[in-house]
Chain A
Amino acid sequence: MAMAEEQVSPHTSHEKSSAERTWHGIILQTLKRNDVRLVPYVPDRVLTPLIKNLHADPFFTTFATAREEEAVGILSGAWMAGLRGAMLMQTSGFATLANVLASLAVPYQIPLIMFVSERGTLGEFNYGQALVCRTMRPVLDSLALEHHTITRLDELEFIVDRSIKQAVATQAPVALVLSPLLTGGKVFDK
């Protein structure tokens, strides 16, 4: 709670750089504070500033994988060998993960931290994205996975920080869905 209050407090906001006040700045700093160093991703337009800043920061080892499942494998191996990580993807990428969640992350109790840039809602222009988005929460719920949809900047740090800590403490995956309400999403003219 303290951290969430801090980042909205006018008394401390001047101490933070403007980058930390953006959604991607808050996520980057919260990953760092929780010693989450390994960040594989399959890119998304919305995630571009986060990916760019992760690459620019030597604290992180960040790279693209060919498929999202690959990133789950890499993070599982890294976790078991003592290195924390998190993966970035878009909604359609999450839809490729049901098998590896059910056969690796969940039964082996891996604290897999997933950030999903939400496509398919609030102004989607691609019908396929809109359809695949509807599979995401049912899959998460069918495996009883912890997940949160983040819509507000003032709740972001609290949710990310607490979710990382809970995933590690309970050895369970978590999915953090970044709503267009938070990120602006992707619109037709982009």
Chain B
Amino acid sequence: MARTARNTKVMNRFDVTSRLIAKLHNEEAVIGGIGNTNFDLWAAGHRPQNFYMLGSMGLAFPIALGVALAQPERRVFALEGDGSLLMHLGALSTIATLRPKNLTMVVFDNGIYQITGGQPTPAAKVADLVAIASASGITNSAWAADEEDFERLIEGSLSASQPTLIGVRIDDKPGVGTTRRDPVQIRERFMHGLGVRQPL
């Protein structure tokens, strides 16, 4: 199973995140997982529809599921690291059961806990996260072969009839920026961005 991942190009998180953001023109929600994942989302340029997770490792997909259920007409993207996803593999089955077609999940897989010193994850040499997602019921799961393939998979997800998961092999580079750690402002501005409330 792991061979599938080995055949894919090693990409860069910031570059791939920037490619995703450049494709968004309809106020799509983007949930960034803990650490480097949301640092690169921040560095790609803040949008009012971005949510940055500062703790609760592994909950980017569940948070995105909640947004997707609440606003079925809005496209929702979730970005998560491989180590984070390992924390909540069960969430994949919950998402598969609810089948929100407006949810696209991206897993950045470098096989390490980059931010804590580059220790390998327990999955690094033995598990295929896309195969796990597929076996968890997210049948529309695929590794991106390269940047162009990633963009093609993102575009395909926009008209999918079920949730999409895209695996991206990435290098070991740290995030380019650092998210401003202001949870209340992050949450409030996200709610403004989603049209739930207006600024005072």
- A residues in contact (CB < 8 Å) with B: 38, 61, 63-67, 69-83, 85, 99-100, 102-104, 107-110
Q: Is B97 an interface residue (CB 8 A)?
A: yes
Q: Is the CB of B63 within 8 A of A108?
A: no
22 contacts between A and B (CB under 8 A): A38-B70, A63-B94, A65-B62, A65-B94, A67-B88, A67-B91, A69-B58, A69-B88, A73-B62, A73-B65, A73-B66, A73-B91, A75-B66, A77-B68, A79-B66, A80-B67, A82-B195, A83-B69, A99-B57, A104-B53, A104-B56, A107-B183
- Taking CB atoms, residues of chain B closer than 8 Å to A63 are 94, 97-98
- B residues in contact (CB < 8 Å) with A: 29, 31, 51, 53-71, 74, 88, 90-91, 93-94, 97-98, 183-184, 186-187, 190-191, 194-196
Q: Is the CB of B66 within 8 A of A78?
A: yes
- Taking CB atoms, residues of chain A closer than 8 Å to B55 are 99-100, 102-104, 107
Residue A109 contacts which of B64, B65, B184, B196 (CB distance < 8 angstroms)?
B184
Q: Smallest CB–CB gap between A78 and chain B, Å?
A: 4
Q: Is the CB of A99 within 8 A of B56?
A: yes
Q: Smallest CB–CB gap between A111 and chain B, Å?
A: 11
Residue A80 contacts which of B51, B57, B62, B93 (CB distance < 8 angstroms)?
B51
Chain B contact surface mostly: helix
- Distance, CA A183 to CA B66, complexed state (A): 29
- Taking CB atoms, residues of chain B closer than 8 Å to A85 are 66
Residue of A72, A76, A85 most packed against chain B (CB within 10 A):
A76
- Distance, CA A107 to CA B88, complexed state (A): 21
In the complex, residue of chain B having the shortest beta-carbon distance to the beta carbon of A78: B66
Residue of A81, A104, A108, A109 most packed against chain B (CB within 10 A):
A81
Residue A103 contacts which of B56, B69, B94 (CB distance < 8 angstroms)?
B56
Q: Is the CB of B190 within 8 A of A80?
A: yes
- Taking CB atoms, residues of chain A closer than 8 Å to B88 are 66-67, 69-70
- Distance, CA A69 to CA B63, complexed state (A): 10
In the complex, residue of chain A having the shortest beta-carbon distance to the beta carbon of B51: A80
- Distance, CA A73 to CA B62, complexed state (A): 5
- Taking CB atoms, residues of chain A closer than 8 Å to B57 are 99
- Distance, CA A91 to CA B100, complexed state (A): 30
Q: Smallest CB–CB gap between B28 and chain A, Å?
A: 12
- Taking CB atoms, residues of chain B closer than 8 Å to A100 are 55-56, 59
Residue B90 contacts which of A65, A99, A108, A110 (CB distance < 8 angstroms)?
A65
